[in-house]
Amino acid sequence: MPHPIYIINGPNLNLLGQRQPEIYGAQTLSDIEVMCVAHAKTLGYDIVFSQSNIEGEIVNALQDGGANGAAIIINPAAYTHTSVALYDAIKSIDVPVIEVHLSQPHAREDFRHTSYVSAAAKATISGMGARSYILGLDAAAHVLSNS
Ligand code: CA2
């Protein structure tokens, strides 16, 4: 079995399914994890799935994924738009990092139009709801199959 694909989730995503379903959908983060585990299995990968509301813990998860994973999918949530620490962490690791978003930040408030993560990530998938994660896994598998 190859190294697992890490899926890292940022602040407030633990609330998915409870509030703002018109923006983020009705699925909970656990629902998304179950979908990802099943889809990754079809691609031949295990998943290490995490969520944190704490920026430094997300940096730790990125470093862990960089050392022990085949690839990383990250929804950095609000830290997308603020975090030089996440940018530096992604720049420092060698495995492909795919940024995903449930919503389309460029169709929302101006402050969501800047992504520090996009500046370091291999690719970004947004606006597809929970399916962004599945497409993120497909993108990771594609990159890995060509590396
Ligand atoms: O669309 C996405 O996936 C975002 O990363 C979600 C972030 C937002 O700050 C980004 O601009 C785009 C927000 C995640 C908060 O999730 C909640 C879920 C339910 C209730 C409240 C917040």
Which domain does 29 fall in, by range?
5-145
Task: Give the whole-angstrom CA distance, residue 33 versus residue 37.
Answer: 6
Q: Hey, what are 104's tokens?
A: 């389309």
Task: Give the whole-angstrom CA distance, residue 18 versus residue 13.
Answer: 10
What is the tally of structural domains in the chain? 1
Tell me the Cα Rg of the chain: 14
**124 within 8 A of 118, measured Cβ to Cβ:** yes
The answer to whether 87 is a known catalytic residue is no
pLDDT digits (tens, 9 = 90+) for 65-83: 999 999 999 999 999 999 9
Buried (b) or exposed (e) across 28-40, using 16+ Cβ within 10 A?
bbeebbebbeebb
Q: Does residue 108 surpass a pLDDT of 90?
A: yes
- What confidence category does residue 1 fall into, taking pLDDT thresholds of 50, 70 and 90? confident
pLDDT digits (tens, 9 = 90+) for 18-36: 888 888 989 999 999 999 9
Q: What CATH number should be reported for the domain holding residue 110?
A: 3.40.50.9100
Look at residue 123 in the predicted model and tell me its pLDDT: 98
Among residues 45, 101, 116, 133, which one is catalytic?
101
Cα 10 to averaged position of ligand 1 atoms, centre (Å): 9
